[in-house]
Amino acid sequence: MNLSPLQKARYEYSPKLPGMLRNGISDICVKNGAPTESVADQDKIKALFPNTYGKNEITFEKGANTSVAKKQVVGVILSGGQAPGGHNVICGLYDAIKATDKSNVLLGFKGGPSGLIEDDFVEFDDEYINAYRNTGGFDIIGSGRTKLETEEQFKIVTEVAKKHGLTAIVIIGGDDSNTNAAVLAEYMAAHNTGVQVIGCPKTIDGDLKNEDIEASFGFDTATKTYSEVIGNIERDANSAKKYWHFVKVMGRSASHVALECALETQPNICLIGEEVAAKKMSLSAIADYIADSVAKRAANGDNFGVAIIPEGIVEFVPEFSKLIAEINELLAGKKTDEFNALPNWDAKYNFIKNGLTAESFAVFDILPQFVQQQLFLERDPHGNVQVSLIESEKLFSALVKDKLAARKAAGTYNGKFSALHHFFGYEGRCAFPSNFDADYCYSLGYNAFMLIQYGYTGYLSKVSNLSKPADEWVAGGMPITKMMNIERRNGEDKPVIRKALVELDGAPFKYFEAHREEWAVKTAYTYPGAIQYFGPSEVCDLTTRTLALEKGMLK
């Protein structure tokens, strides 16, 4: 195999562990914390998880290991979208397993949860693992989005576990995947299978976080990757001085990725969906807000700029959200086939006009035709509009162009406006992990085995104090049920992990809010550059500005 010099160097990197995990497996003991309860709907969650609810949070510290020695056969899966560092979770898990007892076994089930159902696996050994240390991607075993949620699936997984003598299953995933981990743990406990289930918090979107989970892995690397390219675009904009760049960034519904990239690069505009919802901003109001920046900069002779648009922005616009809900109803059941059978866009347009309320059709009618058509692209598995397919960066530049034309006609604007568009998403999901993510992920995997060794199930591997150097990180675990509430899904009440949105009273947003008026008019761009792997710690091991602000490390 031909390897790049960086790939060779990353294989040789030794990830840093929290101090209490550096002392050797035999010198780690458990410190019990307080019992837990779910963030909401406590009675309902407790009733659904009678065997795994209300358990204590725990931390690991130096002391005599009191766990019962036994051979461990552990299965691991990667679930959901890719995130930098996933390989290191598996590497950390493998190293802890083998450090405890060379005869212990780690099986990687391929293609996500479906690998468990189909019994498609590989047994890891040193050679296999060493080829993936500190590298990006999920190609070590692949990933998938199959949900483990039915009685039939649980029975199959139980049989597969029994066949291989599995003592534990580690599920590396986001909020939905760890919800499935909690449900599977409850099933395994209720049926006395002896199989433990441990989760690890993954998502570049940053929405799997709370008072216990300071950051989901991959967020650091992905936002640094996007920020590098946004910084490059800012430098180009300031050089050419003739384009407004509209940059959409991944992040699902929450705006954490957009906010972090704005904190890193200081663009002229960054929309925050959670603020749009709180202020009930219309599409027209958002377009005016951006147009104000364009006009003020043009008055200074700066006919260029950069605007960051979060992927899920349109979900937060009340009038657009209502429109999407009506479209979902309009195409419910067999009506989708009826709509798709119409001969051309004019016929489909009339179908839409007759099916929407006058209020929603008025919103629909101001949209550029390409966005109108994107609202009727392939539906998600639940029959809903796939909001991520909407090119919101092009939508807002088109709306801003119309606003500026109206201002020019009224004699209040005399600048030039030419827009370019970008979407940064997949570029960041499989990057070489930053040193922070390499260390954090390795620690999560190593720590996951400590939870297994001490007999915990339904727990999330937890590493905290992340704004400090790695030797000050604190390792432990928390019951997944602590993060859960009841939400309506597909017409049913379901227990799910509550997604974390941007907090408008939180330090990261407040810092952004305090500076954005200046950034909107001035050219205040900052250029983060590429992720650094070698050099001083303050360059190579720095965390996100979001985490630093949350922990009071920046003012």
Exposed (0-12), middle (13-18) or buried (19+): which is 236, by Cβ within 10 Å? Answer: middle
In sign, the C-alpha dihedral spanning 131, 444, 432, 248 is positive
Q: How many CA atoms lie within 13 A of 365 on its CB side?
A: 11
Identity (one letter) of the amino acid at 398? Answer: A
Reading the block at residue 36, the tokens are 């837990």
Q: Give the CA radius of gyration of the chain.
A: 25
Q: Which residue has the tokens 């949900």?
A: 147
pLDDT at 381: 60
Calpha distance 363→319 (Å, rounded): 7
Q: Catalytic residue numbers?
A: 205
Reading the block at residue 361, the tokens are 């059709």
Q: Is 93:16 a contact under the CB 8 Å cutoff?
A: no
Calpha distance 365→251 (Å, rounded): 27
What's the distance, CA 382 to chain centroid? 21
- Going along the chain from its start, the domains and CATH numbers come out as 5-35+52-218+433-480 (3.40.50.450), 220-429+506-548 (3.40.50.460)
Reading the block at residue 507, the tokens are 């330090």
Calpha distance 125→167 (Å, rounded): 18
What's the distance, CA 430 to chain centroid? 13
DSSP bridge partners of 200? 172
Q: Is 185:126 a contact under the CB 8 Å cutoff?
A: no
Distances (CA, A) of 21 to 399, 402, 457, 461: 54, 59, 20, 13
Q: What are phi and psi of 159, to 5 degrees?
A: -65, -40
Residue 23 in 3-state DSSP? Answer: coil
Identity (one letter) of the amino acid at 115? Answer: G
Calpha distance 541→367 (Å, rounded): 44
- Pick the closest to residue 428 from 257, 218, 135, 225 (CA basis): 225
Give the global pTM: 0.95
pLDDT at 104: 98
244-282 residues labelled b (16+ CB within 10 A) or e (exposed): bbbbbbbbbbbbbbbbbbbbbbbbbbbbbbbbbbeeebb
Q: Which residue has the tokens 């992927």?
A: 311
* pLDDT digit string (tens) for the chain, length 555 residues: 688 999 999 999 999 999 888 877 888 999 999 999 999 999 999 999 999 999 999 999 999 899 988 999 999 999 999 999 999 999 999 999 999 999 999 999 999 999 999 999 999 999 999 999 999 999 999 999 998 889 999 999 999 999 999 999 999 999 999 999 999 999 999 999 999 999 999 999 999 998 889 999 999 999 999 999 999 999 999 999 999 999 999 998 899 999 999 999 999 999 999 999 999 999 999 999 999 999 999 999 999 999 999 999 999 999 999 998 899 888 887 788 899 899 999 999 999 999 999 999 999 999 999 999 988 877 666 566 677 788 999 999 999 999 999 999 999 999 999 999 999 999 999 999 999 999 999 999 999 999 999 999 999 999 999 999 999 999 999 999 999 999 887 668 899 999 999 999 999 999 999 999 999 999 999 999 999 999 999 899 989 999 999 998 886
Residues 6+ apart with CB under 8 A from 513: none
Reading the block at residue 525, the tokens are 């761009």
Strands 105-109 and 269-270, by their bridges, are: unpaired
Q: Is 113:180 a contact under the CB 8 Å cutoff?
A: yes
Q: Is 309:258 a contact under the CB 8 Å cutoff?
A: yes
pLDDT at 1: 61
Q: Left if phi > 0, otherwise alpha if psi is -120 to 50, otherwise beta: which for 246?
A: beta
Reading the block at residue 490, the tokens are 């597909």
Q: Three-state SS across 228-279?
A: HHHHHHHHHHHHHCCCEEEEEECCCCCCHHHHHHHHHHCCCEECCHHHHHHC
